[in-house]
Amino acid sequence: MTGKLRNYINGQWINSRGHAFLDVINPATGDKIAEVPAGSGEDIKYAAEKAHEAWLTWQNIPATQRIQYLFNMKRILEENESEIAAICTRECGKTLAESKGEMLRAIENIEVACGIPKLMQSGFSEDIATGIDEFYIRQPLGIGACITPFNFPIMIPFWFMPYAIACGNTYIVKPSEKVPMTMTRIFELFEELDLPPGVLNLVHGGKETVDALLEHPLIPAISFVGSSPVAKYIYQTGASHGKRIQAQGGAKNPVVVMPDADMESAVKIISDSAFGCAGQRCLAASVVITVGQTGEEFVKEITRAAGAKRVGNGMSDDVDMGPVITKESKERIETLIQKGLDEGATLLFDGRGINVAGCEGGYFTGPTILGNVNPASEIYNTEIFGPVLCILHTPTLEDAVSLINQSRYGNAACIFTRSGAAARKFRHDTKAGNIGINIGIAAPMAFFPFSGWKESFYGDLHGQSLHAVEFYTQTKVIIERWHDEWTRKF
Ligand code: NAD
């Protein structure tokens, strides 16, 4: 699995029908490590035809049998944890511990999807009128597909795919072209599953491939995770082709620190949230709002915590934070930091210009903290998606919540406090899909939906849990009356 990557369609590794390739780069070194097909609509056409053929049989295999493949999927991921994590770190930059962490989240989703025979169960009402019964069943839609971002190459396809296939759909995974190697290796390992050809397919590519997915008449449901402008485009374009769409977008997650917070643990948790995965998590803390008298002490402590982060190649065990994904991303982040300073923010900790010995070609930006950030400024309102924390201050919790609710994003919001009343008010009043109380990354477990509000989500049903089951099935209501001898009262 080096050199030129191939697609996996109908149980076979085949070359893309497009001829262009994109470089896959190790962001810790700047070295080219593979080439990924830029993709072609023809790849999707072929994958959709084969996935449809497979679906004609797969939909009729009992759910209890379909989930047997998932039990093996879980085992394969567990047995190959170290190898998969290393590939993920190499192409994505995060630390090995972070790669293993997302692997756990993938496995949790497989475990929940193993409960599909129960999760797909429906309702039955006997005698809605004398001798007439009514019930509904859930049936698969056909072919599902996911289009995923660069920052969680292992986990994110598993928010959708295990549920979809366990419900009786066949599936196409389209990973980010920046990190295509991890899913390629996972598919190689999944050959051991011996799934019927066409049930699980992998197609690489960029916009042309995505557009072909959005337009193909045999594909009724698409899950997307990525930036908000693309999420909106996917939602609008997919819907205009009559598809079900769930599209998770970008974020700018605020954290409120109340005067009664346990400062030591709040600082540790917030610095891990803001700088872990180099700030490239959709649930990362990117804005801290200190309330009342909290400001000075928090700034002193978070600055110290930022200085303690060890930045380097994620392959080394003694590293807390790896590089950002591309050269362009590093340049964009550092331009935004300068913009923030030009807009009047104070530089509390500067991560620019960091040198990592032995990784001179890597794309490193260290933890950076800006204080006195103006809520009207570009740095406050833009998703930076890097290790940059903006700090501002409000006199009261009400002011903080009001500020948060003006954001166009609504992925997550957290509060640090010892007050049950403040926490309760915050969780009720704040307009965001995932709320953390003394939590830095409000990531829902697999048996909860991965929520998201406002421009952080386009659609109705989210990924994971029962939402994923509902998204990948349609209900059929049946009303039945039988002959007299079936309904006669004895
Ligand atoms: P991205 O939007 O650039 O790319 C995501 C996917 O969309 C990729 O597979 C890519 O090939 C495809 N794509 C990109 N541009 C496209 C276009 N113009 N037309 C069609 N398809 C296109 O996102 P990214 O940079 O890979 O990931 C980072 C973003 O993802 C951040 O904004 C982050 O907040 C978001 N994200 C959100 C969540 C969530 O749960 N809400 C989770 C992870 C990441």
SS3 for 110-178, per residue?
Answer: HHHHCCHHHHCCCCEEEEEECCEEEEEEEEECCEEEEECCCCCCCCHHHHCHHHHHHCCCEEEEECCCC
| Model pTM above 0.95 | yes
For ligand 1, whether the C-beta of 362 sits within 6 Å is: no
pLDDT value at residue 234: 98
pLDDT tens, residue by residue, 131-183: 899 999 999 999 999 999 999 999 999 999 999 999 999 999 999 999 999 99
| pLDDT, average across residues 19-43 | 97
Distant-in-sequence, close-in-space partners of 248: CB < 8 Å, separation ≥ 6: 224, 225, 226, 231, 282, 450, 452, 456, 457, 462, 463
| pLDDT bucket at 291, cuts 50 / 70 / 90 | very high
First to last CA, the chain: 69
pLDDT score of 489? 56
Q: Give the angle subtended at the CA of 336 by the CAs of 38 and 383, to the nearest 5°.
A: 65
Predicted pLDDT of residue 486? 66
Backbone angles phi, psi at 314, to 5 degrees: -60, -15
DSSP helix, strand, coil percent of the chain (3-state; round to 5): 40, 25, 35
- pLDDT tier at 41 (50, 70, 90 boundaries)? very high
Name the pLDDT band for 74 (thresholds 50, 70, 90): very high
Is the per-residue pLDDT at 55 higher than 80? yes
pLDDT of residue 294: 86
Q: Check if the beta carbon of residue 147 is closer than 8 Å to that of residue 226.
A: yes
Q: In this predicted model, what pLDDT tens digit does every residue of 229-244 receive, in sequence order?
A: 999 999 999 999 999 9
C-beta of 345 in contact with ligand 1 (< 6 A): no
Whether 484 shows a pLDDT value over 80: the answer reads no
Q: Is the minimum distance from the CB of 410 to ligand 1 under 6 angstroms?
A: no
pLDDT mean over 15-43: 97
CB of 149 sitting under 6 A from ligand 1: yes
What are residue 52's phi and psi, to 5 degrees? -70, -45
Mean pLDDT of the chain: 97
Which tokens hold the place of 166?
A: 């366990």
Q: What is the 3-state secondary structure (H, E, C) of 185-215?
A: HHHHHHHHHCCCCCCEEECCCCHHHHHHHHH
**What pLDDT score does 295 carry?**
86
Q: Which positions ≥6 away from 65 have C-beta within 8 Å?
A: none
Whether the per-residue pLDDT at 274 is higher than 80: the answer is: yes
CB 259 within 8 A of CB 293: yes
Is residue 282 annotated as a catalytic residue, yes or no? yes
Distances (CA, A) of 420 to 10, 117, 260, 262, 396: 54, 39, 11, 14, 16
Ligand 1 centre distance from Cα of residue 83 (Å): 25
Q: Which of 92, 282, 390, 414 is flagged as catalytic?
A: 282
Tens digit of pLDDT for each residue in 395-448? Answer: 999 999 999 999 999 999 999 999 999 999 999 999 999 999 999 999 999 999
pLDDT at site 487: 62
Residue in the block written with tokens 């590519």: 205
Mean predicted confidence (pLDDT) in 33-51: 97
pLDDT tens digits for range 173-212 = 999 999 999 999 999 999 999 999 999 999 999 999 999 9
Mutate to test the pocket of ligand 1, among 25, 160, 230, 388 (most ligand atoms within 8 A of CB): 230
Ligand 1 within 6 A of 282 CB? yes
* Rounded distance between C-alpha atoms, residue 257 and residue 274, angstroms: 14
Residue that the structure tokens 């340049």 belong to: 331
Query: How, if at all, do strands 124-129 and 132-140 pair?
Result: antiparallel
Measured distance CA(88)–CA(180) in Å, rounded: 9
Distance from the CA of 148 to the center of ligand 1, in angstroms?
Answer: 6
pLDDT tens readout for residues 363-398: 999 999 999 999 999 999 999 999 999 999 999 999
The phi and psi torsions of 84 (rounded to 5 degrees) equal -65, -40
Q: Is the pLDDT of residue 482 over 90?
A: no
